[in-house]
Structure 1
């Protein structure tokens, strides 16, 4: 367990970085001490550590401490992740513009699909999903896409209490679920028909990084707007988005 002194040292190191990030010209030891209200003897060891780890640089001419390469690397990682998420959200909007139905982005958390992003259809919709909420993955199209690589023993271990129904159409038989997941692996698409919400159908696709499913996309339809043409359009839009997102994931470390 870190001591109070350790917490204080960490807070002071972060204060130094935050202050230096506000001024490209940097600060001398005396200026840092004055701005932060920390004695030189206390701040000096922190500066040595930050210098050694590459978070600060020290100019030999003016003796100013400035932000170093490691701080830039961390900042760039954040910017790359934010940029990648913006691109994924843009692709979700593209799907909605083609299909005119709601698009979801989800990840798997303890057997549930966690809804990370929802782009609403401009048309009347009965989808009850909410960003930040979750549903049992086995009962949704996006969730089945997330479970695509699970085999029967893994499913039974994940849902050790069994598969409880959300509607009269929810799959509650492990073997039937495993068979559906095998079909998803073969076709690349997951399907749901009123298994989580009455009156709603869904088509989903897994998103893979290095062969592993890390997230999934789906399109949800009211029953009255679901037909062969609508399903074909959704599959095409989802598959195109999947290809672009998986290319993006090859270049960016993105945590869903």
Structure 2
């Protein structure tokens, strides 16, 4: 990725295209091999193994067989089959023939997460996301930061040709997204250090993987107030993001995503700033009313 786009540079490029150094890259893997950290003694409990099975559903395929789940979770098929039986009885997975899907018990628990509750972050932000989509014609996202990843909370989809494959609940490395950079630029040094020390993954050849360059990028984002993703997470997809800051603390970020060329990014940037500001004010007001 090159330096963030500003109005003058975008005008010189014409049609708002975002310049990038590379055009080709191998597609990133759909999911990591292991999603739950193992204990230091490397002996995982049954609970840990069950969590690995649930985490194995991350991806775009809603139903999976025992063999595939066992492979993704890194355990014997017999162990996976036994644990899936326990999870099915608890309602955490549901069986459909020879395949399994996530169960309604997870939906019930997920709806109790703070930002999913009535008047939570998602409810407060949905109007601004819808307005952002209407004004830009692009896909609007709301995400939060968790560890070294961004977790997508809400999405208003646009029918543009760009390959926007995110869904609420999905996560991506923060360093490869405009949303992640927008939040990290306004986070503490300790949080940034944690992300850098965890490693900066290369999802495309545009991804920033050198720590010094990444820190310099965050400084530029903090100065400008917006972050750009120039095909760093997915080739053929760019975005501009702005942080949602409440009482001096960054709690989320909002972005507009679309094709890198033929998009008026300076105009999109203005709408993203307005949307993030609107959510910040609405959420702060909601907090004051609750307290």
TM-score (norm 1): 0.62
SS in structure 2 of the partner of residue 224 of structure 1: coil
Aligned-residue offset at 1:90: 1.3
CA distance in 1, matches of 2:260, 2:266: 15
- Which residue of the partner structure matches residue 250 of structure 1? 284
- Which residue of the partner structure matches residue 146 of structure 1? 183
CA distance in 2, matches of 1:184, 1:146: 9
Q: How does 1:166-185 map to 2 (within 5 A)?
A: 166-185=203-222
Q: Which has the higher contact order (CA 8 A, sep 6+)?
A: 2
Aligned-residue offset at 1:155: 2.7
- List runs of 5+ in structure 2 lacking aligned partners: 1-113
Aligned-residue offset at 1:91: 1.1
Structure with greater Cα Rg:
1
Structure with the larger helix share: 1
User: Would you say the 8 A contact 2:148–2:194 is kept in 1?
Assistant: no
Equivalent pairs counted in the alignment come to 175
- List runs of 5+ in structure 1 lacking aligned partners: 1-76
Q: How does 1:1-256 map to 2 (within 5 A)?
A: 81-82=118-119, 85-150=122-187, 154-226=191-263, 230-253=264-287
Aligned-residue offset at 1:177: 1.0
CA distance in 2, matches of 1:224, 1:158: 30
101 and 162 in structure 1: CA distance in 2 versus 1, 3 angstrom threshold: same
CA distance in 1, matches of 2:195, 2:145: 11
TM-score (norm 2): 0.55
Superposition misfits of 4+ residues, deviation over 4 angstroms: 77-81, 150-154
User: Would you say the 8 A contact 2:243–2:253 is kept in 1?
Assistant: yes
CA distance in 1, matches of 2:270, 2:152: 22
| Residue deviations 1:35-65 (CA, integer Å, cap 9, x gap) | xxxxxxxxxxxxxxxxxxxxxxxxxxxxxxx
| Residue deviations 1:89-124 (CA, integer Å, cap 9, x gap) | 111111111111111100001110000011111333
Aligned-residue offset at 1:192: 0.9
Aligned-residue offset at 1:174: 1.1
SS in structure 2 of the partner of residue 223 of structure 1: coil
The alignment yields a C-alpha RMSD, in angstroms, of: 2.5
